[in-house]
Every structure is written in structure tokens, then in C-alpha cells.
Amino acid sequence: MTSPVFVAVVFAATVVQVCSDPILAISSGTGQWTHTLPPQVVIALTALVCLVQAICVSRAASRPELAMLGTTACYLLVAVVLGVPTWATPMQLVVGIAMFALGAARPVAVAAPWAASVVVVSCLALGGWAASVGAPPEAVVSFLLTEGVALASVSFAGVALGILYAVLERRAERERRRAADLQLQQAEAIEASRTAERGRIAQELHDVAGQHLAGLVSLCDASVDLAPAHPQQALQLIDEVRAEGRYAAASLYGALGDLRAVEATAHTPTPDLRHIGGLVEFWRERGKDVSAETEGDPETLPAVVSTTAYRAIQEALSNAAKHAAGAPVRIRIHIAPERLVTVVHNDAPRRLRDGEPGLGLGWGLDSLRQKLTLVDGTLEAGSDGAGGWRVEVDIPLPRTMEA
């Protein structure tokens, strides 16, 4: 679609350069007019041709060949037909714009021959006109060196810039496609991660149903059978039912929470005591003197116990950063067949200042105690009597861990 604004701008810029000198010369009475047509007529016709040339170049985006031929024909119309080649010199710039569009829209093998052909034909037309007015051969050659070379320079420069623009545009398009492909791959990877996490959660729910709940049923059946003759043993079995029920409830709570999270965003595996090294490194990078010692194998712990203990240590380290800046922190993890004990102990702060902002996890000790009740665990937190602070978590393990 032709833009009226574009046509008006090109026309105004061209007609001012083409007609300003002749109008000034005529109005001032300098120079001698030898043209067969009156100067007012030649100026009016030249302005009309400039308008047609502006319309032609406005079609360069959709029809570059026609735009190039049209703008060149308008230039030759003023230079050869009207016989005022010096007026037409500014019109070469519009030809160069059309050449740029041709180089940008067509391959080099198409654009270069088109440009060369048009330049050769234009030079022949200019030379023929110069010879027809009776100019001597040396004047014809000088005229061609002036106008022909100028037209060739503008034309080939326009084509070259168009070809360069096309190369850069193709490169940018490849980068855009590459970015789109990477974005698609990332989306696929995220979806694959979600699918894998859903599978893990499904397996965890299956394990809870298959192990804890089946064990609960077996223990209940056994307690019913033992109750008449061995009430004390039946009561012990009921205690085991209660413990197993806590683990089942906590496991379901964690798995369902993970399921809600994975449906909302890409989910990373829930950290547990196997990732304690990463937590220690996190705080060391922030200037904390943190050390950790582990006794036992975290791989043997139930997932809900391991994640609960990890979060307790996480909260204790956050509190140490806020309230005991600069004090060394020692973490001790003891995994026994019957229980898990974790201790986070920090010395008295070396300097008094507010803790690092933004590092609090928003999960205080009261919330920790509530979650620990699901696994029958306890939390003790208090001063060590020397200005330091000690947080201890004790979680009993299922009887199946003792075998």
C-alpha cells in the first residue's frame, strides 16, 4: 500500500533540489534560456515527473523491479526528453533508493544484472542525447563521465547496501528462529521435568498406600487378634499403628504439596539431607563460617523425615544469619537405626548488627514444631549459656528402619 506521507516527503525533497536553482536563475534574470519550451512549462513538467518518480519508489517494497525501472525512466525523461540533465541529477538519489530495495529483495544473481543493465541503458541514452544536440566527442565523453559515473555510483551503491541489508536481515531471522527453537526446547524440557516429577510423586503415593497403609491394616488385624489374650502386646501394636499413621499422613501431606507445586510451575526435587552440602556452600558464599558433620547414611531415611530435618536446619541457619552475624555455626547430623538427631549450634555473635536482609524463609520455629508433630518429632531451641544458640531436632524412625 502506497504511503501518502512517504510519497510527499520524497517528492518534496526531490523537487526542491531539482527546481530551486532554475527558479532562482529565472527570477534573478541571470543566465540565458535556450530551451524550445518556456521555462515555466519545463519546471512544471519536471515537478510532475518528480511526483511520478516518488510514487514509483513508494512501490519498491512490493515491486522492486518496477520501482527501479519507473524511477530510472523518470530520471531519463527529465534528463533526455526534457533536455535538462543537470536539473535531473538529484533524481539519481531516488533511483539509488529503488536500487537498494532491489538488492534487499532479490538475490545477488538477480539484482546485480538488473542494476548493470539499467545503468548501461541509461548511459547510452545520455550519450545519445549529448551527441544529438551537436556536442563534440570530447564533450560527450566528459558529460558521460560526470552524469553516467554519478548514476552508476549511486545505483551500485544502493544495490550493495540492499544486499548487505538482506544478509544482515537473514542472519537476524536465523537468530530469531534459533531463539524460538531454544524457547520451545526449554518449554519441552520443563514439561518433561513436570512429567517426571508427577511420576515420582505418583510412585511416592503408591509407596505410601502400599507400605504404610498396608502395614497399618496388618497391625490393626494383629492387635485385634492379640487383644483378648495379650492386651499389653495389643496396646504396643496400637502405638505402632499410631506411629505408622503419622508417617503416612506426613508422606501424603508432602506428596500432595509437591503435586500442587508441580502443576503450577516447573518443580525441582524437594531438598533433603542428601543436599546438606549445597546448603552449607550457600551460606559460606554469603560469608558465614558453617561446617557440617554427618554420621550415618541419609539415603536410608524416609523421604518425609529427611526433608523435614533439612528444612529445620535451613531455618536454624537463617536465624543464625539474622541474630548471630559473624558467629561460627556447626551442624551435626546423627542417623541411628531408631532415630535421627540434628543439632545446629552457633557461638556468641562476634559483632552486633542486623542480619542479612531477605534470607529469612518465613517458616519459624513454631511452624517447624507443628510439622515435626506429623512425624512424632520434637524441637528444642535455646541458649547454650555462653551467648550462643542451639537448635536440636529429634525424630524417631519407623521400626522397619531398625531391622
Q: What is the DSSP string of 122-147?
A: HHHHHHHHHHHTT--HHHHHHHIIII
Do 282 and 338 fall into the same domain?
yes
Which tens digit of pLDDT belongs to each residue from 365-375?
777 787 788 78
Give pTM, 2 decimals. 0.50
Do 8 and 126 fall into the same domain?
yes
Do 33 and 129 fall into the same domain?
yes
pLDDT of residue 204: 61
- Cell numbers standing for residue 275: 543436599
For residue 50, name the pLDDT band (cuts at 50, 70, 90). very high
Which amino acid is located at 340 in the chain? L
Do 340 and 260 fall into the same domain?
no
Task: Strand 378-383: give its sheet, edge to edge.
Answer: 290-295, 329-335, 339-346, 389-396, 378-383
Nearest to 303 by CA among 344, 266, 336, 272: 272
Do 175 and 113 fall into the same domain?
yes
Nearest to 26 by CA among 105, 94, 79, 84: 84
Residue that wins the pLDDT comparison between 257 and 125 = 125
For residue 34, name the pLDDT band (cuts at 50, 70, 90). confident
Do 209 and 161 fall into the same domain?
no
pLDDT of residue 262: 58
Do 167 and 258 fall into the same domain?
no
For residue 307, name the pLDDT band (cuts at 50, 70, 90). confident
Asked if the structure places residue 188 within a domain, the reply is no
pLDDT of residue 329: 93
pLDDT of residue 205: 64
Do 167 and 219 fall into the same domain?
no
End of a domain among 144, 179, 214? 179
Asked if the structure places residue 35 within a domain, the reply is yes
CB atoms within 10 A of CB 116: 14
Which tens digit of pLDDT belongs to each residue from 309-350?
998 898 888 778 777 777 899 999 999 988 999 999 998 876
How many domains does the chain divide into? 3
Residue identified by cell 524440557 is 189
**For range 250-278, the mean pLDDT:** 67
Asked if the structure places residue 185 within a domain, the reply is no
Which amino acid is located at 371 in the chain? K
∠ at Cα 29 (25, 34), nearest 5°?
Answer: 75
CB atoms within 10 A of CB 154: 20
Asked if the structure places residue 128 within a domain, the reply is yes
Do 279 and 374 fall into the same domain?
yes
Which tens digit of pLDDT belongs to each residue from 189-225?
877 777 776 776 666 666 555 556 666 677 787 778 8
- Mean pLDDT is lowest, of 70-84, 140-154, 220-234, for 220-234
Asked if the structure places residue 86 within a domain, the reply is yes
Residue 33 has pLDDT above 90, yes or no: no
Asked if the structure places residue 184 within a domain, the reply is no
Domain ranges, residue 199: 194-264
Residues 6 or more apart in contact with residue 189 via CB below 8 angstroms: none
Do 353 and 371 fall into the same domain?
yes
CB atoms within 10 A of CB 75: 27
- Cell numbers standing for residue 169: 536481515
Answer whether 289's CB lies under 8 Å from 328's CB.
yes
Residues 6 or more apart in contact with residue 227 via CB below 8 angstroms: 234
Instruction: For 127-257, list the strands marked E by DSSP.
Output: none
Asked if the structure places residue 342 within a domain, the reply is yes
Residue 400 has pLDDT above 60, yes or no: no
CB atoms within 10 A of CB 99: 30
- Cell numbers standing for residue 90: 538529484
Q: Residues of the chain with pLDDT > 90: what percent?
A: 34
End of a domain among 179, 209, 228? 179
Asked if the structure places residue 186 within a domain, the reply is no
Nearest to 255 by CA among 300, 214, 304, 299: 304
CB atoms within 10 A of CB 170: 10
pLDDT of residue 121: 93
Do 90 and 224 fall into the same domain?
no
Do 234 and 310 fall into the same domain?
no
Average pLDDT over all residues of the chain:
81
End of a domain among 179, 207, 226? 179
Q: Spell out the alpha helix ranges (H) of 265-364.
A: 276-284, 303-323
Residue identified by cell 531463539 is 179
321: CATH = 3.30.565.10
* Residue 150 Cα distances to 84, 86, 95, 146, 397, angstroms: 16, 12, 11, 6, 92
Task: Kindly provide the b/e burial profile for residues 312-340, where b requires at least 16 CB atoms within 10 angstroms of the residue's own CB.
Answer: bbbbbbbbbbeebbbbebbbebebeeeeb
